[in-house]
Amino acid sequence: MVCEGDAASSFSFQPTSPPLLPLPITNCNHMDLGGSMVIEHKSWRFNGDGDGAGAGGIQKSSFLVSTLPSQLRPRLDELNVAGKMGGGDVRKTARNRIKPTTSSVSGEDHRELRNRKGLRRERGKDQLRILDVNFVLLGFTIVSSLVALFFLYHFVQFSDADDQLPRVITPFPAPKIMDLEMFQGDHKESLYWGTYRPQVYFGVRARTPESLVAGLMWLGIKDGRYFMRHVCQDADDLQTYGWNKHNGRDYGHQVLIDHGMTLTTSFLKSKVDGSGYGGDWAFRVGVQSEKLSEEMPDAAHLFFYVADEGENALSLGRSVTEIHEKSLLAFGSRSDVSDWELHLKSTDDFEIHHVGLKTPHIHNLSDVVQGILALQARNYGHLELPDTSEDSANILVYQISAKTPFKADIAFVTGTDIDDAEIQERVNSLTGTSLTSHLQKKENEFDDKFNKIFNPSDKLDSESMEVGKAAIGNLLGGIGYFYGQSKILFPQPSKHKSGGDSVLYWPAELYTAVPSRPFFPRGFLWDEGFHQLLIWRWDMHISLDIIGHWLDLMNIDGWIPREQILGAEALSKVPEEFVVQRPSNGNPPTLFLVLQDLVCGMMKNKFSATESKEISAFFERSFGRLEAWFQWFNTTQSGQHKSSYYWHGRKESQTIFELNPKTLSSGLDDYPRASHPSEEERHLDLRCWMLLAADCMHSISNQLINKQQSTNLYGDTANLLADFDLLNKMHFDKDYGAYFDYGNHTEKVRLRRQLVEKNGKPPSLELVRQVLEKPELRLVPHIGYVSLFPFIWKIIPSNSWILEKQLDIIYNNSTLWTDFGLRSLSKTSSMYMRRNTEHDPPYWRGPVWMNMNYLILSSLHHYSKEEGPYRERAELIYNELRGNLIRNVMNKYKETGYLWEQYDQKKGSGKGAHPFTGWTSLVVLIMAESYTQC
């Protein structure tokens, strides 16, 4: 074997035959950091470069020596490895400097003290010199004191003002929704543990800020090389992965296919007498590998870890040589679950190795582990962890190596301050044949519940049913728990600044579904309303829990940050420039979609007496926040004309490189608006979102909590926004027969290359916007999703000729109709499929999006039931559009193994992020023909 340079930053081992046991390395040359490293042997080959650009390996700039076991550190010192990873560097700051003690007095101070005492004694002897005073000195002292008091007063006033929190980071002054009794007790405990780490392929944590967390890593093989798998990412190029069944509470089953290797992961929770808070849980992993060639190994390397975010010490279980006889891997104690133990059971032969680490950071754990493996391979020729542990380690990683196929069960049991026999009995109930039986029972319950709730049509085949189960399963399995502080734009000077022009929101928790595990594993306000359309039908209590968490993030002004990036793991997936949230910008208040459903369900007696009581309590507690949220939109996003609104945040001065200034706050990003942003704008979609919000608030106040004053206020607002004649006057174009935005607009804009000097650098050719005619106030002639918002909200009377025009737009191949769903922007638009910048391909300018298609289908379904001249045509279009959407999503899932963020309007192929089981999972409701309850 030959060793050259250093371990790889892009970690990869290249096997040339199927090894199971590590082999020694011989004939290694001196290794120089910063070069490249190649380890070769007749069994396998390790290869990589040390350019420091990748996420792993051993690098000067990234490898944290202090995270390695102490036994490995001397070797690193010999190799002159420097630098840190994960922020573990301990540096001196002003707070570390030694300050002089105040309890000691210098010789000079003692002398002064003695002189003062002596002076007092001398004056005490002369009782007649009571008027021996220097009046000039006295006057000077009084004036000085007054000046000092003046400055002290103003200093205190300034300090008090600075101590006062800026409004933008002041919480809403009302009891938290999550403190309601319905979210305490059994409900809270039942949701304590879960697969709440959607950003990793498999992860478990509790709903608490400093949780005990667990997860799975493995060595995948691609192009004949090993790569570490842990965090969900597109670059891994897995054929498929995701929870194909998950009930959101205590059961889930996932299939992952990684280049010839198939892993299945199952999760189960159990609560029995004697369990600690939240109960116990079990994890089963099975591995099978397809023999692609003689060079491919038939051994698999899994890495299961447990880590304590609170840095509580974890204790190793039995010696690895005894693991087959005694299953204990680790144990410890926490204030939330009391004593706990982690056990491994398997009937297959395997090797196990471990490493114990002490570090406050776990978001880069896969980097650390692959660095340790690289060091082991380089120094000893072993592709295995070193069986060492730091003192008071808070992370334990176990490597399980075995020939495939094999499976292993890991049981986490709490409340273990009992005798061993009872513990073993509980471990046995969560492993082996008992676990198999429990998992099968939960799977059957999931299937029965899916059929009962969604009652999919008999026209759907069994494969489409399985895709529907995977859609809801991965949405529920993608629910995460996050804790941290949002970063908010706040340019004013403040002691609360977190750096630059931002301040930190208060520390907060968020329990939420996520749009996409690899790309968007965090909370998005505009997506969440669509998620809850599914989740409330599956489990109303989970849905209310999620909505309550979101509303508790509201500040005193009624604003909710639209993107929640809480905690180190969430931050690690977001570029720095996108972290800061702008308090002037909103997001569509889609939570009113599900709130309106709940209100209408109450009115139609869809819920049990207990459920109705809980929903009423929820609305009673949340009403003040909902009012503040509505008023925030009604004031900060209002236009210059009564009943007009526009999305704030569009900046013409910042868009010389954009063909059309983006409107990120609308959720529709690059959908074309007025070419020149101004306060004269009127955005049709926001006007309709406000109608939904006002109508929902009217229903809540009138039907549930009997607030007459609010009822009248919101009723009047809803009537104003639903005024058909006023809507047409402000947004309808008779020539087009369509609804549009209004603003300062010209169609004659283009992108042309010209020399641009930026930040003092030499000029370079850039695409820059050119305006070829003066804009004017007018309707913005782009037909697309926004044009259909009055149709979506059913403002158009069923007998109006305008309804016919809307159906014409929908069912026209030259505008929105395709065989795969409705495209987002008409082919007739000047912006259709146009890039917005040199680096921004079209996003909402043509592709098919499931969330908007669902809303349009819902309205078509409504008009197909309404008496009027267009009823039959609405029904025909509804059935055809529904069939196109279901068929294309199913076909692309079968072809690719994923649901996608959007679909190509020409070929139907998946585009954007994948898996995207956020609002694309609305296909389940489309299958079930389950739309609004009103």
Rounded CA separation 466/236 (Å): 25
pLDDT at 93: 33
Please spell the DSSP secondary structure of 145-206, one letter per residue: HHHHHHHHHHHHHHHHHHHSPPGGGSBPSS--GGGSGGGSHHHHHHTSEE---TTBSSEEEE
Contact assessment for residue 629 and residue 558, using Cβ atoms and an 8 Å cutoff: yes
Q: Is 572 left (phi over 0), alpha (psi -120 to 50) or beta?
A: alpha
Active site residue 501: no
Contact assessment for residue 302 and residue 292, using Cβ atoms and an 8 Å cutoff: no
pLDDT at 753: 92
From 6, 528, 695, 901, the catalytic residue = 901
From 669, 723, 733, 766, the catalytic residue = 669
Q: Which of 161, 162, 166, 173 is nearest to 490 (CA)?
A: 166
Rounded CA separation 653/661 (Å): 10
CA end-to-end distance (rounded Å), the chain: 72
Active site residue 611: no
Q: Which of 50, 23, 657 is nearest to 380 (CA)?
A: 23
Q: Which two tokens stand for residue 316?
A: 């190793």
pLDDT at 163: 60
Burial of 915 (0-12, 13-18, 19+ CB in 10 A): buried
CB atoms within 10 A of CB 145: 10
For residue 819, the 8-state DSSP code is: B
pLDDT at 650: 85
Rounded CA separation 804/811 (Å): 10
What is the total residue count of the chain?
A: 934
Contact assessment for residue 582 and residue 629, using Cβ atoms and an 8 Å cutoff: no
Summarised one tens digit per residue, pLDDT across range 756-803 is: 887 778 888 888 999 999 999 999 999 999 999 999 999 999 999 999
Rounded CA separation 743/832 (Å): 19
Low-confidence ranges of the chain (pLDDT < 50): 1-133, 135, 154-161
